[in-house]
Amino acid sequence: MDVKIEGSWRRELSGEFSSPYFTELAAFIRDEYRTGKIYPPGRLIFNSFDLCPFDRVRVVILGQDPYHNPGQAHGLCFSVPDGTAFPPSLNNIFTEIRSDTGLEVIKSGDLSRWASQGVLLLNSILTVRENQPGSHQNRGWERFTNAVIEALSSRKTGLVFILWGKYAQDKGKHINRSAHLVLESVHPSPLSAHRGFFGNRHFSRCNEYLAAAGTEQVDWR
């Protein structure tokens, strides 16, 4: 199947794109875009991959599914386009960065600046119906993103996987923890952030690990 995705990812995931489950998933997604309001825009479904080629990945932040309100989702987990109000979880992420690192975060919710440094901002499910969170669960995206995690885990070493919330942590079973650093905490949602997200120091701990390996640190601003 001809999937419009960055070339290194196309090579790494070619077996997925030729699988029957992905053919069924693609047919479902095409029909959804044809008949309803689906986010992100179709051209941005694989934005996280396009902005962060396989060979450049150093850190993976795992989300669940895209924002489901108009104008928010653009293919990067937790990120919103410039000019869009920060969702509560993103506000809490920025709060933790300031507390953890002392950095003052740029006043932009577009996290492309992280992706360009090798941070893969991966949602487990890559599409969603407007105002219907979780509406594209169990259609095949989970299998696809499991394959992404397994490819990164098995073919690279020294990555940092950041897993916030039970949903992300459940996907952690696909990570070789002897070869990578896995950081886990509750989700940055206002419902849980005060129960262990604030104070987790994931941003500084990530950079400490990268620095110890002789790898450039991430500028989290």
Tell me the C-alpha distance between 170 and 140, whole Å: 16
* Active-site pick, 2, 65, 82, 170: 65
65 catalytically annotated: yes
Q: Is the dihedral of CA 161, 163, 166, 167 positive or negative?
A: negative
Tell me the C-alpha distance between 195 and 215, whole Å: 31
SS3 category, 59: strand
- Position 17: which residue type? F
Question: CB within 8 A of 209, min separation 6: which ones?
Answer: 158, 160, 181
Catalytic residues: 65
